[in-house]
Amino acid sequence: MNYFTDFINSLALIRVTDIIDIAIIAFAVYKLFSLLRNTRAEQVLYGFIILLIFASVADILNLNTVSWVMNQFLTVTLVFIIVVFQPELRSALERIGRGRSIFTGERVLKSENTIDELTRAMTSLSRQKIGALVVLEREVGLNDIVESGTVLDADVSSELLINIFIPNTPLHDGAVIINNEKIVAAACYLPLSNSNLISKELGTRHRAAVGISEKSDAIIVVVSEETGNISVVENGRIDRYLDEDSLKKRLRKGLSLAKKESKKEEKEAEENEQ
């Protein structure tokens, strides 16, 4: 009975600010795990948490020597993590810096014409088994990637995209960057992913697509030179074996055109009812 009374008294001492405090920490931990998921740092983070629990148990049991050793080890481990996993931590901070892309999920809208032209080009290249790599820029700027290639600033057209990726042409080796309804640049170099979750049967194009998706919120379309298969990469995830219809739907969904059209239809329906 005394335990129950103490528990009730403890609840009475909880303030609204305490609840907000706990909620903020819980959300921060959840986002940390989400950002580091499927990276090398994920397993290290789990190990670090186990060490923290072990150190806490040592403090509770008054194991002074063990506690001192664990505290010294944790201090060194923290510095080790920052140095060794700098790329993963940098990627996580870049994602946090996207702001509304993480917390509200807003996307940059593209026109249907851009999607149609891109889909038509990728389908044609797929039939011919010509490799292609196209990056659709969204909230996170890719100026450093654009500077690695050849600036075009051309309207998006299936004919131009097909000609760019024809083998042995000056611009075929590298990625095309599309932004604001324009082919901004071609023959751009993308960072390769170090993820060990990428299938061994996938080549450099797919690894480059995953690499840029880990460092930005871009949507990347890849055509395999070996099989002609079309894939879409976003946030480190690869959706493979897409045909023309599924590719168009995937791009429209990722670029919010599906949502935009749905709202438009709802508005027209309301006007018709009136």
Encoding tokens for residue 241?
């074996």
Task: Give yes or no: residues 129 and 158 share one domain.
Answer: yes
When divided into structural domains, the chain yields a total of 2
pLDDT given for residue 260 in this prediction: 46
Per the CB < 8 A criterion, the answer to whether 209 and 133 are in contact is yes
174-198 per-position pLDDT tens digit: 999 999 889 999 999 999 988 877 8
Other CB atoms within 10 Å distance of the CB of residue 198 = 18
Q: Which of 36, 64, 98 represents a domain boundary (last residue)?
A: 98
Widest distance between CA atoms in the chain: 83
pLDDT in tens, 26-74: 888 777 777 666 555 666 677 777 878 888 888 888 888 888 887 787 7
Q: Is the pLDDT of residue 106 over 80?
A: no
Domain that holds residue 41: 3-98
Q: At what angle do helices 204-215 and 86-97 cross, to 10 degrees?
A: 60
Pair (159, 61) in one structural domain: no
Residue among 263, 255, 248 nearest 234 (CA): 255
Same domain, 110 and 224: yes
- From 54, 70, 98, the end of a domain falls on 98
pTM beyond cutoff 0.75: no
Q: What is the pLDDT of residue 88?
A: 61
Neighbours of 178 (CB within 10 A): 23
Residue 156 has pLDDT above 90, yes or no: yes
> Are residues 118 and 186 both part of a single domain?
yes
Model confidence at 6: pLDDT above 50: yes
Q: How many beta carbons lie within 10 A of that of residue 63, not counting itself?
A: 14
Same domain, 245 and 126: yes
| 160/255 same-domain check | yes
39's enclosing H/E stretch is none
Indicate the burial class of 82 (C-beta count within 10 angstroms; 0-12, 13-18, 19 or more). Answer: exposed
Query: Same structural domain for residues 148 and 232?
Result: yes
Same domain, 78 and 169: no
Quote the DSSP letter at residue 6.
Answer: H
**Looking at the structure, do residues 145 and 200 belong to the same domain, yes or no?**
yes
Distance CA(153)–CA(178), nearest Å, equals: 9
CATH number at residue 123: 3.40.1700.10
Question: Residue 13's CB: how many other CB atoms inside 10 A?
Answer: 7
Distance CA 205, CA 192 (A): 9
Q: Domain for residue 238, yes or no?
A: yes
User: Do 124 and 162 touch, CB atoms closer than 8 A?
Assistant: yes
